Amino acid sequence: MGDTNLVFLLFDVVQKFIGIYTALLFIRILLSWFPNINWFDPPFSILSQLTDPYLNIFRSIIPPLGGLDFSPLLALLLLQVVQSAVLPSVAQLLASVQPGLSM
């Protein structure tokens, strides 16, 4: 029973983390529309430090086209796929391996 609770806790933490991180990405994307924001000031620098490493992965795949950066769309899409397809599939796989586990 303890393993079941641990798995539930792990999936819940990952789901909540993805939700919070998605919200941070949305805030970062919306703030990028304001050119006068100083990304070195404390509230913005923290947000930038949290989101830019993940966004930079996608910026290296999709360079800005015509001054528009489409990489955040791919970054958000991947988070949504993980949250809505990958995590439930893993949970279903675990449930089939451990008969007492139901998600």
In the 3-class helix/strand/coil scheme, how is the chain assigned residue by residue? Answer: CHHHHHHHHHHHHHHHHHHHHHHHHHHHHHHCCCCCCCCCCHHHHHHHHHHHHHHHHHHHHCCCECCECCHHHHHHHHHHHHHHHHHHHHHHHHHHHCCCCCC
Burial bucket for residue 28 (CB in 10 Å: 0-12, 13-18, 19+): buried
Q: What's the pLDDT band for 56 if we cut at 50, 70, 90?
A: very high
Kindly report the pTM of this predicted structure.
Answer: 0.81
The pLDDT score that the predictor gives to residue 64 is 83
pLDDT at 48 over 90: yes
The pLDDT score that the predictor gives to residue 22 is 95
pLDDT per position as a tens digit, 17-28: 999 999 999 999
The count of C-alpha atoms lying within 13 angstroms of the C-alpha of 69, restricted to the half-sphere facing its C-beta, is: 16
1 vs 30 pLDDT, higher one: 30
Question: Quick count: other Cβ atoms within 10 Å of Cβ 50?
Answer: 13
pLDDT per position as a tens digit, 81-103: 998 888 888 877 777 776 555 55
The pLDDT score that the predictor gives to residue 102 is 53
The domain spans of the chain are: 2-69+86-97
